[in-house]
Chain A
């Protein structure tokens, strides 16, 4: 699986959009970009994933650059409950190892 790079921490004001970047310059054509988050003392939570098109669901939007070397997770209206560590993972599901390599992630602090 390709390596990802994320900033260690970010702050966001409540109600504003949180834009979390991820670099994955060595991504292969068949690798998906996944985002998970882990709120303190809880299990990881799946957020969204995509291959090359932008994706949106009830939780977030995922913007993938045309060259697929980077992506941005957007939480459109951050709330205090969105404070968590956010992990960007790039992987090929079908033939990769089973473990999710969460890396260090970005610690997002949403402030009142």
Chain B
């Protein structure tokens, strides 16, 4: 079946511009995560959506970052007034996030290919 998709695959923008990054999770997955990965670094958690619950925004680095998830499916990460330090690969992951039944308490996350953001 189709995996997690992200668009665009690459985005080059000028400092101070706003950008929107899109994530289409795997159909039926209730949990959606945004991470970013700077060159040669590990994954940095940004935000987490679970069903209709309020998102966990604890990883967002500043108020220039925001995200929404419409209809419990597609998510958009918006970065306002981009800065050069925002340059990174932005990764989206989704998970069925089962909390009962088979594989209860597991949280296998499936990642998209990422969006490489370059801020000039």
Contacts and interface: CB of A to CB of B under 8 A. Distances in A.
A49 B91 contact: no
Interface stretch (B12-20, B74-82, B111-119): B111-119
A112 interface: no
B99 A94 contact: yes
A104 to B, nearest CB: 8
B27 interface: no
Contacts, number: 57
Interface in B28-66: 31, 33, 35, 42-45, 48, 56, 59
Q: How large is the interface on A (under 10, 10 to 19, 20 to 34, 35 or more residues)?
A: 20 to 34
The residue among B59, B97, B109 with the most chain A CB atoms within 10 A of its own CB is: B109
A42 B106 CA distance: 24
Contact of B43 (A45, A49, A102): A102
Given A98-B45, A99-B43, A32 B109 contact: no
Interface in B83-120: 91, 93, 97, 99, 104-114
Interface residues of B, number: 26
29 contacts: A32-B106, A34-B108, A42-B113, A42-B114, A43-B4, A43-B93, A43-B112, A43-B114, A44-B43, A44-B91, A44-B93, A44-B109, A45-B111, A46-B109, A46-B110, A46-B111, A92-B105, A93-B106, A94-B105, A94-B107, A98-B31, A99-B35, A99-B43, A99-B44, A100-B35, A100-B43, A100-B45, A102-B42, A102-B43
